């Protein structure tokens, strides 16, 4: 098991009789700083005679210095020698501290080591710019302090008084372990239309509170106002069912920059409203709003039943700043409409009776159609024989004679077929007049 004891300036590895200063930063000309590390070795005289001790470095390594050169230690007294490690290059240094006692053949050797490392700390960005910030929008940006050295460093923000008048800073200092980083977040909310700018300093120190690195950070913000013109309460009025009806949703931006517009579905717990929203579509579903140019989307409503809508929210419009990718404004699009289906009544009903009639005699009978609905509709008159012909095609061969006889009997009947009636599906083409009346009235 290796026993290591940590002291001020380094770690002593007992089984190897080795003192490790560890990583030491090289001198910094920018801050005029030297980052030497010191360790003091104490010698206790436990003998009854005075000891004359001399010190030296075995290979005269330029990275290690000591003081004093010698000591005279009285019995039961203690003296120390200070070893200074100050590397001048980015490399590993290794040497031995020699302790020799006059008139004592035994020589003690303590291995000392260190390695020089470049100052690898940095702060980014140097300019924190909040660009194109819309009024009442909050944005955040990070300042990253990086430590790419094998030593722990401490950082501080200095002179932030003016900055804090317009910006908020999450943290003003901290310790960074070797080869790691920390962030401090700057928060800005646009309250007024003006450009703001402030500066402060970042100081970074080593474990002995010596200045390692310093730089200046500038924070500025440009605010802008965006004004939108739109009508999000749309009215279809009275419309006919089983048809598609369109209406335009327009929005215009009076700002200086391009805005992204995106439409999303509205979801709530009301199942009836959710079912009604399925009758609506919007195209296009997204687009770009250029300054002072109207952007339009078409909302299509295709109802197939009677309904009354009063300011029903059908879509959500999101106005997004593409530069910061934040939602500037979110608004619901409301729709009002009254949907009606076509209705009619035939008179006489349910049949037209011609009575007894001589062969070859012609009789006329008037059939009246009353529009009971809110809108016009078209209709056509067709011979009922069409139904017989369809049945004839579907019948089996062994029943052909019977089907032809029935077709002959039905050839004198007629029926009215609405040509464009709301509420009528294609499968209802050959219903008789009685069925039409029951369905549409």
Which CATH number covers residue 282?
2.60.40.10
155 SS3 class = strand
78 SS3 class = strand
Q: Looking at the structure, do residues 203 and 288 belong to the same domain, yes or no?
A: no
CB 185 within 8 A of CB 140: yes
137 SS3 class = coil
Q: Which of 7-11, 373-377, 423-427 has the highest mean pLDDT?
A: 373-377
Which tokens go with 343? 């209705």
Q: Where in the sequence is the domain holding 353, given as residue range(s)?
A: 344-440
Residue 413 confidence (pLDDT) above 70: no
Which tokens go with 87? 């590397």
d(CA 270, CA 274): 6
d(CA 284, CA 302): 17
Q: Looking at the structure, do residues 204 and 285 belong to the same domain, yes or no?
A: no
Residue 432 confidence (pLDDT) above 50: no
- Burial degree of 46 (CB within 10 A; 0-12, 13-18, 19+): exposed
pLDDT at 418: 45
pLDDT at 7: 67
Q: Looking at the structure, do residues 18 and 104 belong to the same domain, yes or no?
A: yes
Torsion angle, alpha carbons of 395, 401, 404, 409, to 10: -120
Structural element, H or E, at residue 229? strand 228-230
Q: Answer with the one of 284, 315, 340 that is the final residue of a domain.
A: 340
d(CA 198, CA 73): 61
For residues 406 and 215, the model is more confident at: 215
Q: What is the tally of structural domains in the chain?
A: 4
Structural element, H or E, at residue 136? none
Query: Omega into 125 within 30° of 0, i.e. cis?
Result: yes
The size of the chain, in residues, is 441
pLDDT at 99: 87
Q: Looking at the structure, do residues 298 and 355 belong to the same domain, yes or no?
A: no
Q: Looking at the structure, do residues 205 and 248 belong to the same domain, yes or no?
A: no
Instruction: Name the pLDDT band for 386 (thresholds 50, 70, 90).
Output: low
Residue 436 confidence (pLDDT) above 50: no
Q: Looking at the structure, do residues 203 and 134 belong to the same domain, yes or no?
A: yes
CB 198 within 8 A of CB 219: yes
Q: Looking at the structure, do residues 232 and 328 belong to the same domain, yes or no?
A: yes
pLDDT at 301: 95
- For residue 36, which of 161, 210, 191, 197 has the smallest C-alpha distance? 210
Q: Looking at the structure, do residues 261 and 314 belong to the same domain, yes or no?
A: yes
Q: Looking at the structure, do residues 373 and 297 belong to the same domain, yes or no?
A: no
CB 184 within 8 A of CB 143: yes
Instruction: Name the pLDDT band for 390 (thresholds 50, 70, 90).
Output: low
For residues 390 and 293, the model is more confident at: 293
Angle at Cα 434 formed by Cα 430 and Cα 436, nearest 5°? 60
Q: Looking at the structure, do residues 72 and 144 belong to the same domain, yes or no?
A: no
Q: Provide the terminal-to-terminal Cα distance of the chain, rounded to the nearest Å.
A: 99
d(CA 308, CA 441): 19
Q: Looking at the structure, do residues 86 and 173 belong to the same domain, yes or no?
A: no
Query: Tokens 């390594």 appear where?
Result: 61
CB 148 within 8 A of CB 119: no
Instruction: Name the pLDDT band for 441 (thresholds 50, 70, 90).
Output: very low
Query: Omega into 129 within 30° of 0, i.e. cis?
Result: no
Q: Looking at the structure, do residues 240 and 136 belong to the same domain, yes or no?
A: no
Residues 6+ apart with CB under 8 A from 216: 126, 199, 200, 201, 202
Residue 171: how many CB atoms within 10 A of its CB? 13
What would you report as the CA-atom Rg of the chain, rounded to the nearest whole angstrom? 47
Instruction: Name the pLDDT band for 385 (thresholds 50, 70, 90).
Output: low
pLDDT at 4: 64
Q: What is the DSSP letter of 205?
A: E
Q: Answer with the one of 311, 340, 369 that is the final residue of a domain.
A: 340
Q: Answer with the one of 181, 206, 224 that is the final residue of a domain.
A: 224
d(CA 328, CA 255): 12
């Amino acid at each position: 098991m290796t026993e290591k004891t940590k002291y001020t300036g380094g770690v002593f590895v007992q089984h190897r009789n080795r003192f490790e200063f560890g990583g030491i930063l090289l001198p910094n000309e920018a801050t005029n700083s030297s980052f030497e590390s010191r360790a003091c070795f104490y010698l206790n005289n436990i003998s009854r005679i005075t000891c004359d001790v001399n010190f030296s470095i075995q290979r005269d390594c330029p990275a290690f210095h000591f003081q004093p050169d010698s000591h005279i230690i009285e019995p039961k007294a203690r003296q120390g020698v200070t070893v200074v490690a100050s590397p001048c290059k980015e490399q590993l240094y290794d040497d031995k501290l020699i302790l020799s006692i006059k008139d004592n053949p035994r020589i003690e050797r303590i291995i000392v080591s260190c390695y020089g490392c470049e100052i690898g700390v940095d702060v980014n960005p140097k300019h924190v710019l909040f660009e194109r910030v819309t009024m009442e929008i909050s944005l955040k940006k990070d300042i990253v302090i990086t430590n790419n050295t094998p030593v722990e460093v401490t950082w501080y923000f200095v002179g932030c008084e003016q900055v804090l008048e317009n910006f908020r800073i999450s943290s003003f200092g901290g310790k960074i372990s070797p080869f790691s980083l920390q962030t401090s977040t700057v928060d800005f909310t646009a309250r007024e239309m003006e450009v703001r700018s402030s500066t402060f300093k970042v100081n970074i120190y080593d474990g002995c509170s010596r200045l390692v690195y310093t730089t200046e950070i500038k924070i500025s913000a440009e605010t802008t106002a965006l004004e939108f013109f739109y009508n999000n309460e749309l009215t279809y009025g009275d419309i006919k069912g089983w048809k598609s009806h369109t209406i335009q949703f327009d929005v215009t931006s009076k700002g200086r920059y391009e805005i992204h517009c995106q439409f999303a579905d509205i979801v709530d717990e009301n199942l009836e409203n959710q079912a009604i929203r399925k009758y609506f579509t919007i195209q296009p579903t997204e687009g770009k709003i250029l300054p002072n140019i109207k952007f339009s989307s078409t909302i299509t409503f295709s109802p197939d039943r009677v309904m009354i809508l009063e300011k029903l929210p059908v879509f959500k419009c999101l106005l997004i700043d593409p530069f910061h990718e934040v939602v500037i404004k979110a608004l619901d699009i409301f729709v009002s409409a009254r949907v009606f289906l076509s209705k009619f009544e035939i008179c006489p009903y349910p049949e037209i009776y011609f009575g007894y009639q001589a062969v070859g005699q012609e009789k006329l009978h008037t059939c009246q159609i009353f529009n009971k609905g809110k809108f016009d509709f078209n209709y056509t008159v067709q011979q009922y024989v069409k139904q017989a012909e369809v049945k004839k095609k579907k019948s089996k061969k062994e029943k052909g004679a019977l089907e032809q006889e029935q077709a002959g009997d039905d050839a004198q009947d007629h029926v009215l077929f609405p040509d464009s009636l709301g509420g009528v599906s294609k499968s209802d083409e050959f219903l008789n007049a009685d069925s039409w009346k029951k369905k549409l009235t």
